[in-house]
Structure 1
Amino acid sequence: MGNKNSIILILEAAISGFYLAVSRSLAPLYLVSQGLKVQELLLLSALGNLLAVLTIRSLYSLLQSRGISARTLLLVHGIERVLWCSIPYLGMLGLIGYLAGITVATMTGFLITLLIMGLGNEELVKKVMSRRTALSATTSVVAQVLATLALAGGAEIRELLLTALGIGLLATVVLSRMHLDKLRSKPSTAPASEALEKQATVFLYLLFLLASSSILSISWPSYLLKILSVHTWVASLLSTVQTLTTIVAAFVWVRVGFKSYRIAIALLPLVPLAAFLIRDPYMHILLASANVLLFSGANYFGGFMYARLAYYLGPIRASLFLISASGMAQVVGPLISYLAMLQLGVDALFIVSSALALVSLIIAMTSISEVALAPEKYVRIYSRILYNASIASYTTMIIAARSALTLTLQLLALSSTAMLLFLFLKMAYYIALLSGG
């Protein structure tokens, strides 16, 4: 049965790759076409991911007590697709749809990750993760090509999103064949202190790694177009090469031992610096391919570590930490990018991206035994220091939050409402102009 579940999960990713490529590229493009600035889109993304992280924390508590049900899985999976593909049809509510889409997409990612972690066998989990990535990337390339040809032929964004919706819901139908009763949802043994320490250490490693990648993905295309003044097709080719490299990387990194991931983790901080220093646009295409190959290895390492820890932590807890690291990185990355673009310009983002990747390198090489260069006894000490520091920070934050919680929620609600109102008015202005013209 586990084999059948793994096949279904891989097939779901293959079908979803088409939907994801179209919806994640065209829905933001539609909002920008309605007058939204890129910086404002970054703020919306950060807010949406923050809401998503808070939401999956609540979902985690529910899953711990009741487990995952087929109804919840399929409902969340289907609603995500409807939200993303209906943004052009929502009018002024499109911004709310975008925020809700980000939140529900993270919930979907959490549930899918839980299904994968619940397969129980570490090697099977690794194979499913890598094959899902490879097939999703393959179908996304097909989607990008077809969408580009369709737009060039006069098709509208709305029409393409409706097509993506139909294909996305087909993945939901495939997922309905999962046998959830066969999934392992509890830890196989009580978590030892070492597992708890490693859980926190890997989370910090992934947080810095993914934030670095998020910033680089925002700054690189802008740098090519605005600073190096390359043709748009070069930036488009760069994206396609990255996707193709993702397919290759999935088969490369799943076959190696943990020690081999040191190469990817160690070299990754050099990529943003190289991208900043190299002025030949065509060299950037090779560099982008190298970046994806290295990042895939470093990212797979974090995911595979949680696949191993799931035995001790349970699939639900392991999935929560893995998805939360990604969600928080998508809060930190866009916010840093927004502030840097306002104050320092796009150049500074490469330095910030490199610095964050360097922090993840230091964490890995000193505190995660599977790749650490330090002796085992020191690795445990460093890991415990990071764990205790994170616990102390969390405790302090909770104590401080008790006295300021009401005020914080009020300020968050007011600022979010004000930002959404401003964006609504701005979109209404542009829609009025377009209607009048």
Structure 2
Amino acid sequence: MWMKSEDSRKIAWALTLEILLAGAYVSLTRGLFIIYLTSIGYSVDSISFVTLSSALSSIIFGILIYKRPNFIIRRIKAKLITFHALERLTWMIIPLTQNLFTILSLYSIQLVSSFLINTFISYIIYGSLTEDLIRDVTAKRSAANGVSSIMGFLAGTALLAFLPPESKFKYIFIMGSLIGLVSTLIVATLNVSHLEGKMFPEAVEEPERIFSSSIFSIVFFSSGNILGIVWAPYVIRYLGGADYIASLMSLAGTMSNSVASLFWRRRSFKSLHFGLIANALGPILILVTPWPVAHVGINIYTSFTYTGASFITAFLFARYNRWFGAIKSGILLVLFNSCAQLVASITGLLIKENFIILFLAALSAKLAASLLASLTIPETALIPENLARTYSQILYNSSLMGYQMGVELSKETIMMALRFLALLLTVIILYMIYYILWILINLG
């Protein structure tokens, strides 16, 4: 049962206004975080370690909530406001230290808080609006986020260029946090009483569709996260660009994202799939372009196509929402990004600063996502829908069988290990008994 149209519009506008301020906050904090770590001497593997550990904590938290979603449907407003404010306050502390484990701990708190904020907001959207309104508010929030982020990145670029190197990130992060706290006041005006204790489906009607969409989303978002980790260090260190050029890249990409959100919002799934295919050219363009300034233009292209491709996930779950449920849709949408960040962090940690391999990894992920969308998701498939459903079922069954075999193999391995330990313990005890008897006999 959806809300009245007037109440739905109020929620849609409140959430759009919230992101209008939050976008600038994110641009001035998380948007400059990789640049900050690079500026204080962190290598790609150190940056990957920070993002890996932090992403892992949010994933574990997300899985626990997915298994026990009652946490999300009780006292929604109070929890949302608490974590909304906590995330912003954390950014005030991060620039006060350069210690790896302190930054890691603070960034983990920030990511877990961000995970919960996005889960609550996704739950509010998917639990209150129809499919068409979900499409509309997703695009409007993305566009508003872009406009706000542009202002944030303009301010960030100017401040990076003109503030003293030793204190610029401190001032930028504090300013961003204060802007973010204003958006917390907007969240406090939301009326979400209709979602308190809302029931959710226990069983999943079409698990193979959820599985295919989930695999696609994680693979595609991983490609974007790999680029997010490696692109700024590549431009600054390998190509010799200034740090404000990396910020300018983010600014240009955000401007492109705002226009793209309005362009893609009413497009068909087939059109969104075209954006996905076009986005795969991004890593190739990056590798063949040696001029740092030219990467600003490349970011405009990749951001425009990436936005269209990313809408596939949001719009698919808007369609699945009726039988999958708002709470699980909301949690999964946020969990996809955390999983993608984990995959990207592991990739960066293992490959380190071998930029060519990292960009090829991003390209491979984009091509794999395009293949999954072409063959296993009926809405985006380039083959007949019934054949795509069949491939989706095969993928799901194969993965399920592999998981079951893995569980059985793990059980057998554990049992063999326990038997071996028991045998070893028995031998040790017998040896001790015989040794004690030998001593007693000799004493006698």
Corresponding position of 1:119: 128
User: How far 1:46 sits from its partner (Å)?
Assistant: 0.9
Measured after TM superposition, the shift of residue 122 of structure 1 is 0.8
Contact preservation (8 Å) 1:275, 1:284? yes
Which residue of the other structure, out of 4, 10, 17, is the alignment partner of 2:23? Answer: 17
SS in 2 for 1:192: coil
Taking the TM superposition and a 5 Å limit, the aligned residue runs for 1:29-428 are 36-64=42-70, 67-69=73-75, 70-89=77-96, 93-151=102-160, 152-154=162-164, 156-183=168-195, 185-186=198-199, 191-193=204-206, 196-230=207-241, 232=243, 234-279=245-290, 283-341=294-352, 345-396=354-405, 398=407
Following TM superposition, by how much is the alpha carbon of 1:18 offset from its aligned partner in structure 2, in angstroms?
1.5
Could you tell me the percent identity over the aligned residues?
24
- Higher deviation after alignment, 46-55 or 108-117: 108-117
Distance across 2 between alignment mates of 1:10 and 1:399: 48
TM-score after normalising by structure 1? 0.83
| Structure 2 counterpart of 1:247, one-letter code | S
Residue 21 of structure 1 deviates from its aligned partner by 1.1
Q: How far apart, CA to CA, are the structure 2 residues paired with 1:30 and 1:372?
A: 41
Query: 1:191, CA displacement in angstroms?
Result: 4.0
- Whichever residue aligns with residue 143 of structure 1, its letter is G
- 5+ residue gaps, structure 2: 1-6, 415-444
- Structure with larger Rg: 2
CA deviation vs aligned residue, 1:269-324 (integer Å, no higher than 9, x gap): 22212322344555543332111111111101111111111111101111222211
Q: Is the 8 A contact 2:276 2:308 kept in 1?
A: yes
Q: 2:44, 2:233 within 8 Å by CA — same for their partners in 1?
A: no
> Using the alignment, how far apart are the partners of 2:243 and 2:93 within structure 1?
28
- For 1:173 and 1:243, locate their aligned partners in 2 and report how far apart those are by CA, in whole Å: 25
1:194-219 deviations in whole A, cap 9, x for unaligned? xx211111110011111111112233
State the 1:230 CA deviation.
4.5
Flag the 1:318–1:369 CA change in 2: closer, same or farther, 3 A: same
TM superposition shift of 1:27: 5.0
RMSD of aligned residue pairs (Cα, Å):
2.7
Structure 1, unmatched stretches of 5+, are 406-437
TM-score w.r.t. the length of structure 2 is: 0.82
Kindly provide the CA deviation profile for residues 49-79 of structure 1, in whole angstroms up to 9, marking residues without a partner as x.
1110111222234434771421111112111
Could you say which residue in structure 1 is the equivalent of 2:431? Answer: none
Indicate how the Cα distance of structure 1 residues 79 and 237 shifts in structure 2: closer, same or farther if over 3 A, else same: closer
* Range with greater deviation from structure 2 (55-64 or 328-337): 55-64
Q: Which amino acid aligns with 1:218?
A: I
Instruction: Say how many residue pairs are matched.
Output: 401
